[in-house]
Structure 1
């Protein structure tokens, strides 16, 4: 197999690894898979980016990428964390957004554009959220923290169903 074919195979395998907290998404769909390279010795190097500082899923993502690539026959695999540029919810693919909604999780809207310092705001965050089940925008924020720190928990006033919303970052 040529180096180009090995690289394509490594990229395909790494791209199919699922997120441990959102298993309906691959790391590629989530946008955390940054790079897959093979050096001259045949070692695979993968770069992943955390969705936010201190994300507890990073170690599991790393281990899953290493395991899957080694299972696919790559003998030496290294995963590094890439912090720049910082991940944003805008990196979630259209397929990933559809998978979130299909799983009953409201996908994020556009990420906020920030230039300069980030202002400290203590009031509730205003988001445009639609119920992933019925599409209604008549929703109430139940908790700023949902099943994971990167999600907020809402309740639809129309169909009365609770749901998580991926926070725009």
Structure 2
């Protein structure tokens, strides 16, 4: 089992290739069955376009390491949350230039979708480039639905923030 987890640590997320699928918390379990391994995956959200790619890459990595046969099972409940990103994953996000999410307070875990204009927010993420607390959200959505686009008011650089959900 340890060898399978070590192999899975090398499988990179196709949308954020600085992180492994384990760093993101997408890999929930590795279960050994008589007929092979089962890798349980929880996508970051149910419509994630990378789910099939992740499943294929996970199975290919297990097979190429000689640990197959293997199958992947998608487990959508409980739903993935950014709390599942490892400390190492959060560090890697910041180094990659994406502000990592903080913990989601319990009272904010279920929120309706709202649209906002630009504003400076005291709870906005710090700039991953210069560390400034003076940032503003430019867009609720970045390159993917799980990220928002921010700009640092100190160094003027844009950056993405992995949304806490």
The normalised TM-score by structure 1 is 0.88
**Cα-to-partner distance string for 1:92-142 (whole Å, 9 max, x where unaligned):** 1111111110111100011242599x4435343964311001111211211
Q: What's 2:143 paired with? A: 147
CA contact (8 A) 1:15 1:33 kept: no
Q: What's 2:81 paired with? A: 88
Q: What's 1:79 paired with? A: 72
CA contact (8 A) 2:103 2:164 kept: yes
CA contact (8 A) 1:88 1:111 kept: no
| Alpha-carbon separation, structure 2, partners of 1:134 and 1:15 | 29
CA contact (8 A) 1:52 1:87 kept: yes
Unmatched 5+ residue regions in structure 2?
none
Question: 1:56 and 2:56 equivalent?
Answer: no
**Cα-to-partner distance string for 1:46-104 (whole Å, 9 max, x where unaligned):** 00101112011111110000111111113311001111221110111111111110111
CA contact (8 A) 1:112 1:168 kept: no
CA 1:121 to 1:18, structure 2 compared with 1: closer, same or farther past 3 Å?
Answer: closer
Question: 1:16 and 2:10 equivalent?
Answer: yes
Question: 1:124 and 2:120 equivalent?
Answer: no
Choose from 85, 88, 96 the match for 1:103: 96
Q: Secondary structure at the match of 2:17?
A: coil
Q: How many residues align?
A: 161
The normalised TM-score by structure 2 is 0.90
Question: 1:67 and 2:60 equivalent?
Answer: yes
Q: Secondary structure at the match of 2:161?
A: strand
Q: What's 1:28 paired with? A: 22
| Alpha-carbon separation, structure 2, partners of 1:119 and 1:64 | 33
Provide the alpha-carbon RMSD of the alignment. 1.9
